[in-house]
Amino acid sequence: MKVSYHGHSVVKIETNGIIILIDPFITGNTTTDLDATTIQADIILLTHGHGDHVGDTVDIAKRNNALVVASAELADVIGWEGVRTHAMSIGGAHTFDFGRVKLTQAFHSSSYINPETRTITYTGMPTGILFTAEGKTIYHAGDTGLFYDMKVIGERNDIDIAFLPIGDNHTMGPEDAAVATDWLQAKQVVPIHFNTFPFIEQDPHYFASLLKEGVGIVLNPGEMINL
């Protein structure tokens, strides 16, 4: 299995010939190496409905006939755009032909904002994602603050790699993410959701320095890890 990071919270997983994108915010993402008009995807997993996570989902899904997996309300909103979806809810898991997906809680918000009409569409509870395939487990925390049930997630799952936000302001900062790392007991942790915007500027190497040696892995956009 190949896992790569592509700026902000964008993660790509390649497993058994299937390409999975998590939170494909590409257009407007100054930190990504991807091109929204050419990126291929078979599956898109979404953590919540904010624009810097849903991003280019609809266009990518339509062009590739990709399946979008998301919380129930967000799946409905995406589905109204003519996209194939699979709705899930927090605490629920489903085994697809490409792997097992389970949604965890996340402490944040989730909505679609239309500045032209000044309307906000609620898109369900924000989530984290546990993805398991080829005997490996990946945890993408989405946007979240620190919460104690991360300890339970770590105790109940053998996490090979976790992607944790460190940007602060809207999510955990480096110090809280370091506590989350201890609770999750992940073998490797990659910082995400930082430096895209001025108010989430952080030094990912500082975060890595807070962790046990070898646990924190700072990936530049496009860099890959083989699991």
For residue 84, what pLDDT is reported? 98
**What domains are defined for the chain?**
2-214 (3.60.15.10)
Look up the pTM and report it: 0.98
For residue 166, what pLDDT is reported? 98
Q: Closest Cα to residue 111, out of 120, 119, 102?
A: 120
**Per-residue pLDDT reduced to its tens digit, 13-39:** 999 999 999 999 999 999 999 999 999
For residue 19, what pLDDT is reported? 98
For residue 174, what pLDDT is reported? 98
**Per-residue pLDDT reduced to its tens digit, 55-106:** 999 999 999 999 999 999 999 999 999 999 999 999 999 999 999 999 999 9
**Per-residue pLDDT reduced to its tens digit, 144-185:** 999 999 999 999 999 999 999 999 999 999 999 999 999 999
Alpha-carbon gap, residue 188 to 217, rounded angstroms: 7
Based on DSSP, count helices (H) and strands (E) in the chain, helices before strands: 6, 15
